[in-house]
Amino acid sequence: MTQTRRQFVGHGLAVAAAFFGLPHLASAAQVEEALNAFTGGADMADDGITLIAPEIAENGNTVPIEVSAPGAEAIMLLAAGNPQADVCTFNFGPAAGSSAASTRIRLAGEQEVIAIARMPDGSFKQARQNVRVTIGGCGG
C-alpha cells in the first residue's frame, strides 16, 4: 500500500495522539461531532450571538459564562478542551423572556469556549472565546 506524504503525517499524528493520549487532538474530533449533531454541519454566522466569559478564570472548577442570542430557540455550549466537549444546551420555551442564560462551568485548562445558537429559521450562529485558567498557587 502506498501512502501520500499527507497521509503519512496524518497517521503519524494519530499514532502520537493515541500514544501520548493528547487530550486536545482527542477532543477536536469530538467538538466537531458535537457541533455536527447540533447543526447538521450547516454554516454558522459569527454575529447576533454574544458569549461572555472571563479572559482569565481564577479556578477552572467554577467559571461564570453568559450567553445571549436574540431570537434563538436553543443555545449549546461547548468546552473544546474538556474530556467531553458538551457542556449544556438551553432550549428556550414560549415563556422565555429572552434567548439568554448564565451558568457556571468546568474548564480542564486553557481552551476555547464555543456557543452555538439555533435560530427559528434553521440557521445557526456561533461565538468563541478563549479562556485562560489560572494555575493555583497553593493547593490548600
Partner 1 sequence: MTNKVLLGSVSAAIFAVAAAGIGLADIRTGASLVINGEIPIVTETEPPEFLQDVFPEIYSGWVFRTDETRAMEEDDFDNPGMLYVEQGIEAFNTVMGTEGNSCASCHDAPESLANVRPTYPQWDEAHGEVQTVEMQIIECQTERMGAEPYGYDSQQMRNMASLIASVGRGQPVNVAIDGPAAETWEAGREIYYTQFGQLEMSCADCHERNYGNLIRADHLSQGQINGFPTYRLKNANVNSVHNRFRGCIRDTRGETFAVGSPEFIALELYVASRGNGLSVEGPSVRN
Partner 2 sequence: MAENVTPRVRVPRDATVGEVVSVRTLISHQMESGQRRGSDGELIPRSIINRFTCEFNGTSVVDVTIEPSVSTNPYFQFDATVNESGTFAFTWYDDDGSVYTDSAEITVA
* The only residue of 54, 89, 108, 112 in contact with partner 1, by rule CB under 8 A: 54
CA-to-CA distance for 80 and 64, rounded, in angstroms?
16
Output phi, psi for 88, to 5 deg.
-170, 165
* The only residue of 56, 83, 96, 103 in contact with partner 1, by rule CB under 8 A: 56
Nearer to partner 1, 94 or 139 (CB): 139
Span from 10-18, 20-28, 58-66, 116-124 in contact with partner 2 (CB under 8 A): 58-66
Identify what 120 binds: partner 2, partner 1, none; CB under 5 to 8 Å per kind: none
**C-beta of residue 129 within 8 angstroms of C-beta of residue 51:** yes
Span from 9-17, 21-29, 77-85, 132-140 in contact with partner 1 (CB under 8 A): 132-140
Give the pairing of strands 50-52 and 63-68.
Answer: antiparallel
CA-to-CA distance for 114 and 68, rounded, in angstroms?
12
CA distances from 137 to 59, 119, 133, 134, 140 (A): 11, 43, 12, 9, 9
* The only residue of 35, 69, 92, 126 in contact with partner 2, by rule CB under 8 A: 92
Span from 70-78, 80-88, 120-128, 130-138 in contact with partner 1 (CB under 8 A): 130-138
Which residues of this protein are in contact with partner 2, per CB under 8 A? Answer: 61-63, 79, 82-84, 86-98, 100-107
